Amino acid sequence: MLVKLAWRNLWRQKRRTILTASALALALILSLVMRCIQEGSYSANIENIARLSTGLIQLQHPEFKDSQSIDDLLSADPEFIDFARELSTVETILPRIESFALAASGDKSKGILVFGIDPLPEDIYSSLSKKVISGSYFSERQNKGDKPQVLIAEGLARQLGLQPGDELVLYGQGYRGQTAAGLFTIQGILHFPMPQLNNQLVYMSLQSAQYLYSTGDLVTSWVLHTDSLADVEQAASALKQYYQQGVNVRDWLDLSPDLAQQILMDRTSGLILMYLLYGIVGFGLFATLLMMTLERQREFAVMLATGLLRSKLLKLICIESAFIGLLGIIIGLLIAFPILIWLLFNPITLTGETAQLMLEMGYDPIIPVLLDPQLFINQIVVVLGLLVLCLIYPLLRLYKIDLVSALKGGAHAA
Amino acid sequence: MSIKLEQLCKTYNVDTDFPVHAVNHLDLEIKQGEFVAVMGPSGSGKTTLLNMLGGIDTPTSGKVLIDDNNILELHDKQLIAFRRDNIGFIFQDYSLLPVLTALENVEFVMQLQGHSEEECRKRATDLLIRVGLAEHLHKRPAKLSGGQQQRVAVARALAPSPKFVMADEPTANLDAKSTAELLDIMQQLNEQEGTTFIFSTHDPRVISRAKRVIVFEDGLKKEDTIQAESP
């Protein structure tokens, strides 16, 4: 009977109920769309950065993070990585050698960063070949006498005055103090929109890097990519448990702290904006709930006089409020969901310099949306939390209602 | 079951220089089955007295004994349960729940007692038929006349089978015909079921039907007379 009573009470003031539920729905729609776009762009950024450089997870020697030394290596043996391969959420596994060297050509030299990669899977993963602006990507077959190939970044090529077909000398320190020196042919020139990368990257095959640095069958890192960002935590945890102390399992948060920080700040400001919106709606909701309570004091007093327990009276108000909240949530979801589905298939397209920059990086200039159930659940929880917050004072007043004053219809009954 | 008041006082503005004694050292006993009218001018303390009899208001001092148990010693929850099971209320403005039908209004108070849906439906229907509303069971209060609403209120007050019914000026908003009909119903229920009715009123039509009339003025009982039954 309480539920029936609450439902009917709701429609005594149809316009007020609909307006309040609509305000809640509007806040929910705006927050949900904003959060889905926000999280979608974060996911895309993380995914893009991961594919461009770090991957979502890396396995490294425990000392490598601090030392960045070619002495701190992991096995490149397939058996070593078998466990990671067996994880259903891991979609890509790439071995890499990452170290420093001095690049020289003629009388010019420069400190550079060397990436030793497995050309074919790496291209599938990061579309490296699409960044080639001159020359070509690594050729699959090389004759025995040919010098090993390298791809160098555009800025570096310009500084050293190099073109495809030219030779490049790399000199540095190899595994356990050995000398790393080699002569390479420039196969292609790569363009990176970020100057930091564009001025110092040199790619070569993993075998060439292992030979250059005399690492044998060792690598500096294994780069892993999961099916989705949401799988990273679980996969990293499983890897940590398996490899224990022998391997440092680093997720993207650890690998790209700047990006993580930037996302955290952006997310925080977004959340502040969202809570501000809910705060404004909250005042409206609070006023409605308070009115719902104060204007019916006599009615409540009659109910109490005829034997309704105070606890049940509070329950009645809670049910009425819950109905308003649910109504707002249902309306909000019914409107927000089609909008988000539409945005999923027709994402917002960026224009101007930002779009150009993204295109240069090899990404689509769009703002994707992320349809994560957790985002929906979070918003619903926020609405219900807001409802509970707004209910505290009206319930308190109702709990203290003075029966005699309320029966007289007194303004200070509660 | 009887209600006994011992030295009952209700004073407003106690801590001021001008205290108002709504009920002043009242001794009174009302036995089960009585049909009592408490009459007096406006502000004489009738409603306050009824509220204290029904356990709604708390006296400043004195006792409200029901079968020698002082209801003032009951906790809030016990008092609500006591009211629910023993006392029915009829208000001047009917005070029906506007979103419930006549039948549901009557059922509601029975459901508070924990009766099954079937029991509630049966008794509520019976009561509404007895008060002459057989054709209006499923109408909401807004669709009923004042007299009909007050009859629903009577049925609601009687639904939990209370020992006492407190009626605060029940005929104040009714026309002569509705008043007569309502009084007939209440008198009939009093005689057939032994329910005690206590009215606060200054309506001579009610006073003429009462078996006992208590005249109340300035918080004091001025008269308490048993009336000869009308022919």
A-chain residues near B89 (CB < 8 A): 302, 305-306
Give pLDDT tens digits for A251-296: 999 998 998 999 999 999 999 999 999 999 899 889 988 988 888 8
Q: Which of B100, B97, B120 is nearest to B110 (CA)?
A: B120
Dihedral, B26, B32, B37, B39 alpha carbons, nearest 10: 10
pLDDT at A47: 87
Report CB contact under 8 Å: B156, A306.
yes
Residue A143 above 80 pLDDT?
no
pLDDT average, residue stretch A77-91: 91
Residue B55 above 90 pLDDT?
no
pLDDT average, residue stretch A91-103: 94
The minimum CA-CA distance between B161 and chain A, rounded to whole Å, is: 12
pLDDT at A351: 87
Partner B contacted by A88 (CB < 8 A): no
Tokens matching residue A162? 């190099």
Of B80, B91, B104, the CB nearest to A302: B91
Residue A234 above 90 pLDDT?
yes
Average pLDDT, chain A: 90
**CB-based contacts of A90: which residues, under 8 Å, 6+ apart?**
A57, A84, A224, A225, A226, A227, A235
Mutate to test the interface with A, among B99, B117, B149 (most CBs of A within 10 A): B99
Residue B231 above 50 pLDDT?
no
pLDDT band for position B91 (cuts 50, 70, 90): confident
Q: Which of A188, A186, A81 is nearest to A132 (CA)?
A: A188
pLDDT at A213: 94
Residue B229 above 70 pLDDT?
no
pLDDT band for position A45 (cuts 50, 70, 90): confident
Residue A222 above 90 pLDDT?
yes
Partner A contacted by B46 (CB < 8 A): no
Between B143 and B176, where is the model more confident? B143
ipTM of the predicted structure?
A: 0.88
B57 → chain A, closest CA residue: A404
B-chain residues near A302 (CB < 8 A): 89, 91, 95
pLDDT at A403: 86
Of B81, B99, B160, the CB nearest to A8: B99
pLDDT average, residue stretch A144-172: 91
Of A8, A308, A404, the CB nearest to B56: A404
The percent of residues in chain A predicted with pLDDT above 70, rounded, is: 96
Of B83, B85, B108, the CB nearest to A1: B108
pLDDT average, residue stretch A379-396: 93
Report CB contact under 8 Å: B89, A5.
no
Tokens matching residue A153? 């970044």
Partner A contacted by B77 (CB < 8 A): yes
Ordered domains of chain B (ranges, CATH): 32-56+73-226 (3.40.50.300)
pLDDT average, residue stretch B3-32: 86
Give the separation between CA B80 and CA B75, rounded to whole angstroms: 9
Give pLDDT tens digits for B116-172: 999 999 999 998 998 888 999 999 999 999 889 988 998 999 898 888 999 988 888
pLDDT average, residue stretch B100-109: 93
pLDDT at A142: 66
Residue type, A173: Q
Partner A contacted by B84 (CB < 8 A): yes
Between A150 and A146, where is the model more confident? A150
Give the separation between CA B103 and CA B96, rounded to whole angstroms: 11
Tokens matching residue A157? 């090529």
B-chain residues near A9 (CB < 8 A): 99
Give pLDDT tens digits for A165-177: 999 999 999 999 8
pLDDT average, residue stretch A98-107: 92
B-chain residues near A12 (CB < 8 A): 98-99
- Which is it for strands A179-190 and A132-135: parallel, antiparallel or unpaired? antiparallel
Give the separation between CA A298 and CA B200, rounded to whole angstroms: 19
> Do residues A226 and A46 make contact, with C-beta atoms less than 8 angstroms apart?
no
pLDDT average, residue stretch B83-101: 89
The residues with which B166 forms a beta bridge, in sequence order, are B89, B198
Give pLDDT tens digits for A306-355: 888 889 999 999 999 999 999 999 999 999 999 999 999 998 888 888 88
Report CB contact under 8 Å: B160, A9.
no
pLDDT at A359: 74
B-chain residues near A299 (CB < 8 A): 95, 97
Residue A411 above 70 pLDDT?
no
The percent of residues in chain A predicted with pLDDT above 90, rounded, is: 65
pLDDT at B230: 53
Residue A217 above 50 pLDDT?
yes
pLDDT at B172: 83
**CB-based contacts of B110: which residues, under 8 Å, 6+ apart?**
B119, B120, B123, B124, B159, B160
Q: For chain B, how many residues are written?
A: 231
Tokens matching residue B175? 């026309």
The percent of residues in chain B predicted with pLDDT above 70, rounded, is: 98
pLDDT average, residue stretch A136-152: 82
Of A5, A8, A304, the CB nearest to B80: A304
Report CB contact under 8 Å: A302, B85.
no
What sign results for the dihedral spanned by CA atoms A134, A138, A143, A146?
positive
pLDDT band for position A410 (cuts 50, 70, 90): low
> Do residues A117 and A201 make contact, with C-beta atoms less than 8 angstroms apart?
no
Q: Which strands sit side by side in the sheet containing B20-31, from one edge to the other?
A: B20-31, B2-12, B61-66, B69-70
pLDDT average, residue stretch A225-239: 92
pLDDT at A144: 67
